[in-house]
Chain A
Amino acid sequence: MRAQQYDDADEQIQKILRERAASLAQAESEEQAVETRGLLLFLVGDETYAVDVEHVREIVNGFTVTRIPCVPSHVLGVINVRGEIVSVVDLAAVLGSASSRTLEQEESSGIIVRFDEVTAMLVVDEIGDIIDVPTASIEPPLSSLDRAHAEMVSGSVYQDGRLIAIVNLGRILQPVGESA
């Protein structure tokens, strides 16, 4: 696919690659071998976060959450996705964002993610673009983050003047009540 595009619009691609290379301060010759990661961007409050595209199963708009008693506060409940029960995680609560969520709000979107056999839906405020970033450009989480927050972030990437935190699905999707 990519090879074909090369043939078709070689010059243009090269130009883009050159720009990218410049922005990443990396040698142009290495550019073609650069490993990239697809990230799905989304908004929680007014901050941009990202999740690895490979873990995204589907995006859901408009859903009815059923409350489940006696669950941790970041779990809003469950939803019925074509007969499959999927838990609903309030990312705002997980990430310590000020805007705490209620079940009634309709504007939010859901990203169903699957990580390590665990499936859950992350509730976010707005779904953004999918971007490809070179794996090498992903930095460890900001050291200034408080520890609880830092745990929920697996890395960050600088993109278009924004610092985007990649959420740590392994931690966020840790099964609830497993040891019990």
Chain B
Amino acid sequence: MVEFDRSAFIQKFQEEATEYLQRLNEGVITLEGDPKNRELIDQMLRDAHTLKGSSRMVGLLDISDIAHRLEDIMVKIRDGEMQFDPSMSDSFFEALDAIVFLKDNAGKDVSEQIDVPSLLDRLAAVASGSPSEVSQVPPSAEPQPAPSAAAAPAPHESQARQTSEPEPAAAAPGPQQAPAQPAVEEKLQTRTQQTVRIRTEQVDRLLNLVSEVVISQIKAEQHARDLRVAQALANDLYQAWRRVNASLAFDVQHVGAASDDLGVIDEMVTELKNRMTHMLKEYSDEVSRASTVVADLQEHSMAIRMLPVSTVFNAFPRAVRDLARQFKKEVDLVIEGGDTELDKKVLEEINDPLIHIMRNAVDHGIEPVEKRRELGKPEKGTIRLAARQEGDHIVIEISDDGAGIDPAAVKAAAVRKGYITESEAKSMSDREATYLIFEAGFSTSPIITEISGRGVGMDVVREFIVDKLKGSLDVESRPGEGTTFRLTIPLTLAIIRALLVRVSGQVFAIPTASIEETLRIDPAEVIKAEGREVIRRQRRTIPLVHLRDVLGLPADEEAETRKLPVVTIGFSGHRMGFLVDAFVGEQQIVIKTLGSHLKHVDNVAGVTILGAGEVVPILNVPDLMANARRMTGKTAGTRVKPAEERGPRRVLICEDSFTTRELERSIFEAAGYVVETATDGAAGLTKLRGGLQVDAVVTDVQMPNMTGFELTRAIKSDDALKDIPVIIVTSLEREEEKAEGIDAGADAYITKSVFNQDTLLDTVERLIR
């Protein structure tokens, strides 16, 4: 674990450092011409400082020391204690080259090849402002880079030999100039880098054009097919003409004057056939040649944006360590398949969902050390983060060996929060119950803490994966053994498989990842129940909606087909059937955004351009499901504000501090609550027992007469009051106090240090829903 950690971070550092080193190198050159460039000096100072810090983090202390010296020099230059002098450039370059060498050979013992201490001394001399000494140093230090280059990988090695050869020969005229020559050469050669940094915008523009080329190619193939048809026609014409011509030949008298014309026609028909045949051959060859090239072009240009998942994964060991510390748990993170490549855009989107899942695993999955010991599990929990490619998808699995998801607890929590009814809970399989965690705002945690449970639920993860990435999200859990989340993501955001359907005369694309099945049902199969239309599939009831109604499109005038085409979509444990006018087909589509003007459109995720150039909207599955469920009367939990259903919400605030009380009052009143207050726990309890009806109680802990914990306990042990959510807002942040809060039966625990309006309102709203 420790070993792994280090190497993962070093890799990240190497990537990062390359950028800074490049900038510093360029900076030195610019400074030579413009030694007082304040902005540049500041930037170089920052870069040196960052290098110092990050190299220290990954344990590359030599680099850190060198960077530290560079930083010293830059500080003096910035503060005007000394001026950048072109004679310093050599020392700078030497230092930067040394860092490059040390970085590339991180983890190896290179003390034989590079003399860091003497380099540090020279840099110190520069910093102390003794230029005379400095200017003499480079020649004597010149052999320094040479042996270091010799130790570098193959290409460098040959280069080093080249540079070392002319050296003895040139040594004769003057030792001063000779070493300078190869050094320059070497520098020029190292400039031919293996990588080029390109703005993603430029890559995107390129990809955009490539997809246009692909579309043109598809059209060209279509034209080749059309041409083949025309050529066949010309051939038929020729054959028919031949027969006519042959029979006419016996009847010369009748043809008479027209015979000249017949001759011309004969020539023309023959010529037409030959030309068509020739053209078809040329064109087909051309198209098939181009199609190979275009396919390669597409593949390679897509590859430009591919990056290894390690670029994201590498930050997780640290994140998990921090989380583990926060929750007082022991966790090992094992990463597998870090070199699996993914589209950069996907990578950017995947970081947050992964963090949520990790957080969830550390908070809810992995048990506390004592508990694990009791259960006979290893004290240290393990979280495994693995990526692999499966066909045109990437599968990322996050598994923990923790407590697993308890279906009974999930069902109970879901019933309590009103997502499902008691009877629905009973008929629900364990597997279905597990998926309830993806409901908006769902949390099984007995208490809401600021880390998990607050707005960063699994619903967010689901939306990211399904909505933004057009992938799917599965969870598998064995109580007592652990939980595995499986994210299936398309390789690239640019291309997905989609089902094309026709609705109200227009074609729409639905990502196949969320489609369960496509059916053609007999109208007789549609059951009307409680004003809703449903169908039965595999002993389950699936509500039906017209896709056109969800999209707000007019009904198509055309006669309805005998069999109704239905697309069923499964999304976080819910299934819904969407009636469409026709299935058009299934194919790979290139996803494009709606442009800079239409930032977000309900139900529409983007568009694609089909072969013939027509634009087809791609539907957004989570939006469709939410809107469809609203239409079928079964509302999605989060979308309905309680205020609309049962009048203003009421909240009781127990707080002895006048300021805090009034602050909380104003927050709740601004959000439309009716606020009752009490100056201590006892007064609050009296009000409640006196029949005050509230939707939630927000209480401080330290209050005279009765503390918040005592109040909570009293509320939770009173049958008439125990269903009222209690939110503790306190400055007590220690775990023991939090534990006491949980113990007392509080539903949420918000520390004042993270207290803000949104936190408080979100928490309360989620609890009283």
List chain A positions with a Cβ less than 8 A from chain B: 64, 66-71, 75, 78-80, 82-87, 89, 117-120, 173, 175-178, 180
Is B600 a contact of A177 with CB atoms below 8 Å?
yes
Q: How many A-B residue pairs have CB under 8 A?
A: 95
Q: Is the CB of B212 within 8 A of A75?
A: no
Question: Chain A contacts of B604 at CB under 8 A?
Answer: 68-71
Chain B residues lying within 8 Å of A89, measured Cβ to Cβ, are: 597
Residue B506 lies at the interface, judged by CB distance under 8 Å to chain A: yes
Contact residue among B208, B211, B552, B593 (Cβ-Cβ distance under 8 Å from A69): B552
Would you give the shortest CB distance from A171 to chain B, in whole angstroms?
13
Residue of A nearest to B619 (CB): A69
Would you give the shortest CB distance from A60 to chain B, in whole angstroms? 14
Question: Interface code B201-226, partner A: CB below 8 Å = 1, 0 otherwise?
Answer: 00000001101100100000000000
- Some 19 contacts from A to B, beta carbons below 8 A apart, are A66-B607, A67-B506, A69-B551, A69-B601, A69-B604, A69-B617, A78-B594, A78-B607, A78-B615, A80-B613, A83-B609, A84-B208, A85-B615, A86-B595, A87-B595, A87-B597, A173-B597, A180-B599, A180-B600
Could you tell me which residues of chain B, from 187 to 242, have a CB within 8 Å of some CB in chain A? 208-209, 211-212, 215
Instruction: Give bound CA distance, A86 to B596, whole Å.
Output: 8
Asked whether B599 lies within 8 Å of A83 as measured between CB atoms, the reply is no
Q: Is the Cβ of B600 less than 8 Å from the Cβ of A79?
A: no
The answer to the question of B616 belonging to the interface, with a C-beta cut-off of 8 Å to chain A, is yes
User: Which residue of chain B has its CB nearest to the CB of A117?
Assistant: B596
Bound Cα distance A82, B215 (Å): 11
Nearest CB of A to B583, in Å = 19
CB distance from B593 to the nearest CB of A (A): 7
Per-position 1/0 for B598-639, Cβ under 8 A of A:
111111100101000111110000000000000000000000
Residues 538-562 of chain B, each 1 if its beta carbon lies under 8 Å from chain A, else 0 = 0000000000000111000000000
Contact B615 A175 (CB under 8 A): no
Q: How far is the CB of A122 from chain B (nearest CB, A)?
A: 11
Bound together, the chains give a CA A32 to CA B506 distance in angstroms of 56
Residues of the B chain whose Cβ atoms lie less than 8 Å from the Cβ of A86 = 595, 597
Q: How far is the CA of A176 from the CA of B211 in the complex (A)?
A: 26
Q: Does B769 contact A (CB under 8 A)?
A: no
| Chain B, range 659-684, C-beta contacts under 8 Å to A | none
CB of A142 to closest CB in B, whole Å: 27
Give which listed residue, A66, A69, A118, contacts B614 with CB less than 8 A: A66
B592 interfacial by beta-carbon distance below 8 Å: yes
- Report whether B595 and A68 are in contact in the complex, using a CB–CB cutoff of 8 Å: no
Given A69-B552, A70-B552, A119 and B596 touching (CB < 8 A)? yes
Residues of A within 8 A of B211 (CB): 83
* Whole-angstrom CA separation of A75 from B597 in the bound complex: 10
Known contacts A69-B553, A70-B551, A85-B607; A79 and B615 CB within 8 A of each other: yes
Residues of A within 8 A of B598 (CB): 68, 71, 75, 78, 87, 175-177
Top 3 A-B pairs ranked by shortest CB distance? A177-B600, A66-B615, A83-B212
Which residues of chain B from 283 to 319 have any CB-CB distance to chain A below 8 Å in the complex?
none
Which residue of chain B is the closest to A119 with respect to CB atoms?
A: B596
Q: How far is the CA of A18 from the CA of B487 in the complex (A)?
A: 73
- Find out whether the CB atom of B616 lies under 8 angstroms from the CB atom of A85: no
Contacts of A71 in B (CB 8 A): 598, 601, 604
Smallest beta-carbon distance B508→chain A, Å: 8
Write out the residue numbers on chain B whose beta carbons fall within 8 Å of the beta carbon of A66.
Answer: 506, 607, 614-617
In the bound complex, how far is the Cα of B599 from the Cα of A87, in angstroms? 10
Contact of A70 among B208, B602, B607 (CB under 8 A): B602
| A29 and B722 alpha carbons, distance in the complex (Å) | 87
Say yes or no: B595 contacts A85, CB within 8 Å.
yes
Smallest CB gap from B207: residue in A: A83
What CA separation (Å) do A89 and B596 show in the bound complex?
A: 13
Contact A118 B596 (CB under 8 A): yes
The answer to whether A78 touches B595 (Cβ under 8 A) is yes
CB closest residue in chain A, given B553? A69
Kindly name the residue among B215, B594, B595, B607 whose own CB sees the greatest number of chain A CB atoms within 10 A: B595
